[in-house]
Amino acid sequence: QHILHDVDWQIPAGAHITLTGPSGGGKSTLLRIIAAMISKTSGSLIFDGQPIESYDPIMYRRQVSYCFQQPTLFGETVADNLAFPYQIRKQVMDTQRVVTALNNVGLSERTLHQPIIELSGGERQRVALLRNILFLPKVLLLDEVTAGLDENNKQIVHAWLRQLNEQDHVTT
pLDDT digits (tens, 9 = 90+) for 117-135: 999 888 998 899 999 999 9
State how far the Cα of 55 lies from the Cα of 170, in Å rounded to an integer: 19
pLDDT at 103 over 90: yes
pLDDT at site 2: 75
- Residues 25-83 have pLDDT tens digits of 889 999 999 999 998 888 899 999 999 999 999 999 999 999 988 888 999 999 999 99
* DSSP collapsed to 3 states, 66-113: EECCCCCCCCCEHHHHHHHHHHCCCCCCCHHHHHHHHHHCCCCHHHHH
Q: Judging by beta carbons within 10 Å of its beta carbon (0-12, 13-18, 19+), is residue 133 exposed, middle or buried?
A: buried
Domains and CATH numbers, the chain: 27-166 (3.40.50.300)
Q: Are 136 and 168 in contact (CB under 8 A)?
A: yes
| Alpha carbon of residue 6 to chain centroid | 26
